[in-house]
A = this chain, B = another copy of it.
Amino acid sequence: MAANELARDIASAAPGLAARYRAVREASLRLAAPLETEDYVVQSMPDVSPAKWHLAHTSWFFEQFLLRPRLEGYRVFHPRYEYLFNSYYEAVGPRHARPERGLLTRPTVAQILRYRAHVDEHMLQLLGGIEPGQGLVALVELGMNHEQQHQELMLTDIKHVLSCNPLEPAYRDDLRASPGPRSAGPVTWTSFDGGLVEIGTDVGAHFCFDNETPRHSVWLEPFALADRPVTNAEYVEFIRDGGYEHPAHWLSDGWATVRQEGWRHPLYWSDGLDSQFTLGGRRELDPTAPVCHLSLYEAHAFASWAGARLPTEAEWERAAAGQPLQGNFVDSGRLEPCAAPDSGGGLRQLYGDVWEWTGSAYAAYPGFRPAAGAIGEYNGKFMCSQLVLRGGSCATPADHVRPTYRNFFYPHSRWQFTGVRLARDGIR
């Protein structure tokens, strides 16, 4: 949550807020629309949640943190939904075990849609009455950003679910591949001076998650960043050079995972390295598109093989300063990473297409204070054993991401749209 120092509450935000609330909530339904009823139910691995769970949980979030405490006379839609749709808030109380979300055939999709309508009706009632100083706007913003995170998860999760089916059904049959240019061109490098930089943000005019705060200084050595993420063609070269057969370039944990899981290529790729499963079904591999669905281990091994390294999150944020916030987001409707547009030499694709693994462990910034109460569990308690990713992906809403935005996953995770941009030490 926007940190607890957030004192002021912009009253004038309320009218626009209701419209934005509606837009965010409708976007979730739009993403779910192509699904068959059966598709909403399945949890293909513990990391994945059923689509209907996402639709319900995001509604529960508003009910739990806004309607129950703040809307007078509000009655919960169903007394057991708190148990079923609380994700991980220990302070709220006991809840359905995460790996068992896929056991729930009820509530049905229809019932969950009624739940959403019920929550929306009351949220709009609440939003209509917001007055300055109530501290509500930040919570509503949090709820909307939370819902946007689940929009991305809904896509990555259903992609995983459908990929487990030998029939390889497409999420949407009308998606079309956007093949890139014949060649993505060789990587070029942009150099940055070292020195003291500021990263992160303070609570202020615009929304941010608490893990982005406070703004603080970091000392950087000179470094260089590749102009674009690694492409499928480059990654195929790594594989063909024995990338998955020799431990030389792998982290110890990474190599153990490769052996245990039998990894031979990124998630969703065919063994022949020529096609991949996408939300549009199986498609030919586009050599010019950013390689995607990499674990941190694979990103690290590739970088080592290429004589480079992963950027730190401070380097990434330093490089992103002043760059336009544009890219291939969910709004483009492509739902797959695409080849980089030509940019005349500067950094490309910092935003959108693929989340870029950094070498930075996800940790508290100096001076970080989690919010009080259950909301304090939103980010802080995950600050261990995960790594930061930056820039958003083709499944991220365009208005959801920021230069200071910190996504985080475990190093073995591959089912998100995750890729890699190389970095190098500069000349000191």
Query: Taking beta carbons and an 8 Å cutoff, which residues of A are in contact with B?
Result: 36-42, 44, 52, 80, 83-84, 88, 90-91, 96, 100, 102-109, 161-162, 164-167, 169, 196, 216-221, 246-248, 250-255, 296-297, 300, 309, 359-361, 363-364, 366-367, 381-385, 411, 425, 428
CB distance from A219 to the nearest CB of B (A): 4
Knowing A36-B105, A105-B162, the reply to whether A251 touches B296 (Cβ < 8 A) is no
**Nearest-neighbor residue (CB-CB) of A369 within chain B:** B425
**20 sampled A-B residue pairs with Cβ under 8 A:** A37-B108, A38-B38, A38-B109, A39-B105, A42-B103, A84-B167, A90-B246, A103-B164, A103-B165, A104-B164, A105-B165, A107-B167, A219-B219, A221-B366, A221-B367, A252-B384, A253-B385, A296-B384, A359-B363, A366-B425
Flag if A103 contacts B219 (CB, 8 Å).
no
Contact among B80, B100, B165, B411 with A385 in the assembled complex (CB-CB below 8 Å) = B411
Q: Known contacts A42-B105, A166-B80, A428-B367; is A383 also within 8 Å of B251 by CB?
A: yes
- Determine the chain B residues whose CB is within 8 A of the CB of A161 once the complex forms: 103, 105
List, in ascending order, chain B residues with CB within 8 A of A296's CB.
Answer: 384
CB pair A106 B367 closer than 8 Å = no
Contact B219 A384 (CB under 8 A): no
Contact assessment for B42 and A90 in the assembled complex, using a CB-CB cutoff below 8 Å:
no
Specify how many copies of this chain sit in the oligomer: 4
Closest chain B residue, CB of each to CB of A300: B384
Inside 8 A of A253's CB, which chain B residues have their CB? Answer: 384-385
Is A382 within 8 A of B252, CB to CB?
yes
Contact between B382 and A90, CB atoms less than 8 A apart: no
**In the bound complex, how far is the Cα of B90 from the Cα of A383, in angstroms?**
31
Contacts of A88 in B (CB 8 A): 252
- New A-B contacts (15) at CB < 8 Å, excluding given A38-B106, A90-B246: A37-B38, A39-B105, A41-B41, A42-B42, A103-B161, A105-B161, A106-B165, A106-B169, A107-B167, A251-B381, A252-B384, A359-B363, A359-B364, A361-B361, A361-B363
